[in-house]
Structure formats: structure tokens, C-alpha cells
């Protein structure tokens, strides 16, 4: 499973990229807003750090505007993907952009039917939001499994990005069902490394070794 980071914060992206496990980055307008810089500046900076897909979301809500904004953003770097929110205009814009070789990530996916339509329009990625479904008492993991089954049944090349991940258990669950990509917040990535028995084990190895050297 590929691991993306779900943030627009340059320092956090640099830190996780240094781990050597990062395959890409997703941003969204709320994440960009937190950074106090404009979208183009941020994705340009990210493209200099991470060698993998970087999702940049457009703000137009009509197909023509989405295509125009998408083409502009795609000029920044070949790794830039255009993130479009699921709606009829997005299907139209996805068709155009993907026919020009510009990869589209259809976001705000909350049903397998939406994912099917996005894939048929030529989306390179779909982003089902599992945490936001869990929030309203619906099974987000089940949605990822449904989409994976549908895409496998028909051989779609569209990759599934498990989005809106809230904790390490979400990551394990989507990995077990063979999801292509998980886009993971910084705090969750940090938690994935930790285990109290690992810390305890390291401390004991160091203490035992140091004691032996004093004898």
C-alpha cells in the first residue's frame, strides 16, 4: 500500500519524507487555509520535496473553470494531480483533463456509486472519506472494500485513496483489504511508529549493554 501524507504543512512533509516511506501528498482547501500561503506556492514547495503524486484542489464549481484551473496547476510540476469534488461538473472536467494526460483525484466520495462514476469518467484516483462516514455511524471501511471490489471486477485503473483517516487502526484495516493508497495525517503517522513494548525493549537493551560494559 502506498502511503501519502494528508497535510499542506511543509515542515511536516519534510520530516516524514526523510523517513523514506512517503509516496505522495494530498492537500485540500481547509489544509491550505491553515498554512497562510496560497495553493500554488505550497504545491510548488511540496513538488521540490516529494517525488510522487501531489493533489491540489480547484475552487471552481463549473466544468470549464475546473479545467482551466486544473491546466494551470498541472503546469507547476508533472506530479501535480487535480483534486475535484464529486459532482456532475467534476465528471465532465475529469473526462477533459484525463484525456489531456492530467491526472484527476475525485474527492469527497461517500458511496461506491460515486466512485464508479468517477472511474468511468477517467479519474486516476478516488478519495473515499472513511473517518467522516464513521462520524455519522456508517462503516467507512466497508465503503473502501466495496469500491475495491467494483474496480477489481471491471479492471479499472483508478486507484483508491483511503482518506479522512483518524487513527492507526484505520490504516491497518484499509491495508488488510488491499486499498491502493492511504493518505494519513501527520499525527497518525507518528502514532504508527510507536509501541510501548518497543520503547521498553530498547531501554532494556541499552541498560543491559551499558551495565555489561562497566564490569
How many residues line the site for ligand E4P (CB under 6 A)?
A: 11
| Cα distance between residue 67 and residue 90, in whole Å | 9
Q: What x-and-dash track marks residues 29-48 binding ligand E4P by CB under 6 A?
A: --------------------
Bridge-based pairing of strands 2-6 and 104-109 is unpaired
* Placement of cell 501519502 in the chain: 4
The least CB distance from residue 211 to ligand E4P, in Å, is: 46
The least CB distance from residue 181 to ligand E4P, in Å, is: 10
> Does 28 engage in binding with ligand E4P (CB under 6 A)?
yes
> Does 26 engage in binding with ligand E4P (CB under 6 A)?
yes
Question: For residue 31, what are the β-bridge partners?
Answer: none
Contact segment (CB under 6 A) with ligand E4P among 16-24, 45-53, 84-92, 127-135 equals 127-135
> Does 164 engage in binding with ligand E4P (CB under 6 A)?
yes
Q: Which of 2, 34, 68, 83 is catalytic?
A: 83
Residues whose CB is less than 8 angstroms from the CB of residue 55 and which lie 6 or more positions away in sequence, other chains included: 24, 25, 26, 27, 28, 81, 82, 83, 105, 107, 125, 127
C-beta of 90 vs 164, nearer to ligand E4P: 164
| Cα distance between residue 130 and residue 165, in whole Å | 6
E runs forming strands in 8-140? 24-26, 54-57, 80-85, 104-109, 125-128
> Does 183 engage in binding with ligand E4P (CB under 6 A)?
yes
> Does 132 engage in binding with ligand E4P (CB under 6 A)?
yes
Question: For residue 183, what are the β-bridge partners?
Answer: 4
Contact segment (CB under 6 A) with ligand E4P among 12-20, 59-67, 126-134, 193-201 equals 126-134
> Does 107 engage in binding with ligand E4P (CB under 6 A)?
yes
Residue 189 CB-half CA count within 13 A: 22
H or E, element range at 2: strand 2-6
> Does 125 engage in binding with ligand E4P (CB under 6 A)?
no
Annotation says 83 is catalytic: yes
Residues that bind ligand E4P (CB under 6 A): 6, 26, 28, 107, 127, 129, 131-132, 163-164, 183
> Which amino acids are annotated catalytic?
83
Amino acid at each position: 500500500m502506498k502511503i501519502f501524507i494528508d497535510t499542506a504543512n511543509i515542515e511536516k512533509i519534510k520530516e516524514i519524507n526523510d523517513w523514506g516511506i512517503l509516496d505522495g501528498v494530498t492537500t485540500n482547501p481547509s489544509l491550505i487555509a491553515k498554512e497562510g500561503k496560497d495553493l500554488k506556492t505550497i504545491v510548488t514547495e511540496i513538488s521540490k520535496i516529494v517525488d510522487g503524486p501531489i493533489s491540489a484542489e480547484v475552487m471552481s464549481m463549473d466544468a470549464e473553470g475546473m479545467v482551466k484551473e486544473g491546466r494551470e496547476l498541472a503546469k507547476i510540476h508533472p506530479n501535480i494531480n487535480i483534486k475535484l469534488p464529486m459532482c456532475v461538473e467534476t465528471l465532465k472536467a475529469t473526462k477533459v483533463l484525463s484525456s489531456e494526460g492530467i491526472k484527476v483525484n475525485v474527492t469527497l466520495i461517500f458511496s461506491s456509486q460515486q466512485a464508479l462514476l468517477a472511474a468511468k469518467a477517467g479519474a486516476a484516483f478516488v478519495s473515499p472519506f472513511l473517518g467522516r462516514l464513521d462520524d455519522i455511524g456508517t462503516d467507512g471501511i466497508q465503503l473502501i472494500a466495496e469500491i475495491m471490489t467494483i474496480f477489481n471486477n471491471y479492471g479499472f485503473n483508478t486507484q483508491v485513496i483511503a482518506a479522512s483517516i483518524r487513527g492507526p487502526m484505520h490504516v491497518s484495516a484499509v491495508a488488510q483489504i488491499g486499498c491502493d493508497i492511504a493518505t494519513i495525517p501527520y499525527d497518525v503517522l507518528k502514532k504508527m511508529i510507536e509501541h510501548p513494548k518497543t520503547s521498553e525493549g530498547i531501554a532494556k537493551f541499552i541498560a543491559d549493554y551499558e551495565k555489561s560494559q562497566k564490569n
